[in-house]
Each structure stands twice: as structure tokens, then as C-alpha cells.
Amino acid sequence: MARIAFCWELGRGLGHIVPHLDLIRRLVARGDEVVFLAQDPARVESVFRHENFTVYPLAHGHTPVADRMRNADSFPQVLFNSGFHDVDVVHARLLDVLATLERAAPDILVCDYAPSVMLANHVARRPLVLSGYGFWNPPRSVPMPRFRYWLGPPAESFAEREATVLAVINDAGARIGIAPFRTFAEFFTADRLWLCIYEELDSYAGRPDGHYLGMFTDHDFGTPPQWPNEHGLKVFAYLTPGRSGLAALAALAAQPVSVCLYAPRLADAAAKNLPTAVFHRCTTPVSLPAVSRECRAFVNNGNLSTSTIALLAGKPQLCLPESAEQYLNARRIELLGAGLAAPQRHPGHVAGKLQAILHEPGYARAAARFAHKYAGRRLSDRTEYMLADLDELR
């Protein structure tokens, strides 16, 4: 029996937990012990209401807006903007993570966007798996690749920015006995890499030797969708209340649609203004397999797990990205022809884009082509692959 810790530090969505459900159930069923190190224990506990997993709070960072790198264009720059901006701050977080690892005493770490755990493990030295989407598992190039690959080779300042982040990490790591990394790529020391994504949706075009395990829906998670009326086109909306998100809600309110809305961060005052004849607001996560069978289209923030489920169901989508990662996902959806994007800074005509994905058949056809390509993939095969990796690391 092994004690396996699933670690989640950065990122706000349940896509850091839900994709591991089948693996976690299989581990528990065969007698292994599962614990969590999580930035948001309450959200983990909301997923596992009926299980009694131990969840340890995981320290996570925040960089003040005034100190952030503008127009972040690589993973090191995103880390700088996510609490890796100050040596003292990173050092304090590393001490907290090491103390948490001491209490949790895991045999194996599975890190899904948990860079502080990755760094601390250069001291703790547990077998470590990097899991998740392409965004936080970049190719190990020198320097690390840029996100905005369509802009061509980066300027000289690009490498200088990476060196700034690496200096913070090296100085903080030196205080706890970590030898300095010569390149940022060395930060990603791991025993296994699980790319839980499809090649077309990888944030990094042309990744060398990418072994893509795919992404799958979980049929046992979430409550059945509820629709406020039976005559409108059914739309599933999973949103955070940013500027373009609120514009999308207003556009939906003006359409002959029936919306199942999951927006956990939407203020109650804003929710009260939504017409109940058009919107049913869910207070708990919704079953995405059930939603994808019933709805005409998705409206989301470009969360990769939700966007991929829409693609696998052959449903078009309107993406309203609020972060660099979500923008990259939305761009991939547009390149596939399976949806449209309305980014925060330049959303364009949100109502017109919504109208297009609801009524222009080309978007649904493109999503159907993606769904057909991957129709033969099975979640059970991916889980078996992961179990075999974990067995080798015991």
C-alpha cells in the first residue's frame, strides 16, 4: 500500500481535481491511501463529499499587481506573477510546504499545477509525477517557450525576464539547501509526466515527443442539469463574472434560450437581475456529461476541461478568457473552427458571437470532427497507464 498525495497550488478551476477522480477511486479500491495538498481545501471537499480524505492546506502565492510582469508570455513569467516575485515570500512558502509534506508523509507526489511542491521536493525527494494540461507542463527548452508563438522569435528581454524568475527561485532554494538551477528547465525535475490533453489543445505548438493521454468526462461527478424552460435553445454557461462574462449573461438574457448557469463567484445582487424564465442558477457543480448530451452550446471562460468536454460532445462554444492560459485555450478552439473567443480586453461584439455559435452550423461541424477523431479513446486505458507508472515508483 502506498500513500499518494495529489497536490494543487495554482489555478482556480476544478479541472485540477476532477480529471483524477477515476484514478483516485481505483487507488482507494485497491488499498492505497490518498491525501490532498490543496490551495482550496473546501473545493476539494466539495468534490469528495462522501469520502473521508485528509486535505492539507497548501500555501500559495500572490504577486501584487504593481509588481507583476506585464504581458506575461512564458510559464516562468506566469510564476513570477503568481507569488514567485520575492525571495523572502518564496522561502517562507517553501518552509510551509516542507512542514506540510512532513505532516502528510506521502510516498508519492502527483502535482497538478503545484510549483512550490515541485521546488520543495528537491529537498523532500519523494517520487514525483507532473500531471495536467500543457500550460503548466511546458517543453524543457532554453529559454522556456513563449505562449504567443504566432508573434515569432522573442526579443532579448524575454530571456532576461526568465533569468529574473530563476534568480528568485535559486536564492529562495539556496536557503533550504537546494543547489542552484543552471536553467529554468531543471526546475521541472520529475519521475513521470502525464499530459492529460489532446495534441490540438496543447498550449505549446510542435511539442517534441509529446505523449498525450487525453481528457475524459467523469460520469459520476456533478448534479443533473436543470433548464428553466423547454422552448428555448439549451445553453450551459460556466462563468466567472468578468467584464465579458457579464456581457455574455446580458446577451443570453436577450436570446430565446434556456440556460443552465453555474457561476459560483457571481454576486447575489447580479444573479437577482437574471430573468428566471431564461436562467436556472446551479449552486453546485453540474454533470458535464449530462449537460453535453442535452445542450446546444457551451459558454465558458476557456477552462480547458470544460472546453474539451464540449469538443468531445461535438458542441460549439463561446469562450470568454480572463487569463493567459484561458486565452490560449480559446485560441485553440477558434483555430479548430469549433467556437469563438471574446477576451476580456478586446471582447468584440459578444452578442453577435453568441448568435453565431448558436445558429451557424460550421462551429458544431468542426466540434463533431474533433469528437469523431477521439471517439475510440477510453478513460480506463488512461487510468491503467497511470496506475502502472505509480506502481513503478513505489
Least confident of 148-157, 207-216, 218-227, 285-294: 148-157
**pLDDT (average), residues 139-165:** 87
Q: What is the 3-state secondary structure (H, E, C) of the chain?
A: CCEEEEEECCCCCHHHCHHHHHHHHHHHHCCCEEEEEECCHHHHHHHCCCCCCEEEECCCCCCCHHHCCCCCCEHHHHHHCCCCCCHHHHHHHHHHHHHHHHHHCCCEEEECCCHHHHHHHHHHCCCEEEEECCCCCCCCCCCCCECCHHHCCCCHHHHHHHHHHHHHHHHHHHCCCCCCCCCHHHHHCCCEEEECCCHHHCCCCCCCCCCECCCCCCCCCCECCCCCCCCCEEEEEECCCCHHHHHHHHHHHCCCEEEEEECCCCCHHHHHCCCCCCEEEECCCECHHHHHHHCCEEEECCCHHHHHHHHHCCCCEEECCCCHHHHHHHHHHHHHCCEEECCCCCCCCHHHHHHHHHHCHHHHHHHHHHHHHCCCCCHHHHHHHHHHHHHHHC
Q: What is the pLDDT of residue 203?
A: 87
Please give the grid coordinates belonging to residue 240: 466567472
Residues 75, 81: contact at Cβ < 8 Å?
no
Least confident of 30-39, 129-138, 309-318: 129-138
Residues 38, 55: contact at Cβ < 8 Å?
yes
Single pTM value for the model: 0.87
Q: What is the pLDDT of residue 281?
A: 94
pLDDT by residue (tens digit) across 14-62? 778 888 999 999 999 999 999 999 998 888 888 887 788 999 999 888 8
In the predicted structure, residue 161 carries a pLDDT above the cut 90: yes
pLDDT by residue (tens digit) across 229-285? 999 999 999 998 777 888 899 999 999 999 999 998 888 777 888 999 999 999 888
Residues in the chain: 394
pLDDT by residue (tens digit) across 67-109? 999 988 999 999 999 999 999 999 999 999 999 999 999 999 9
In the predicted structure, residue 13 carries a pLDDT above the cut 80: no
In the predicted structure, residue 345 carries a pLDDT above the cut 80: no
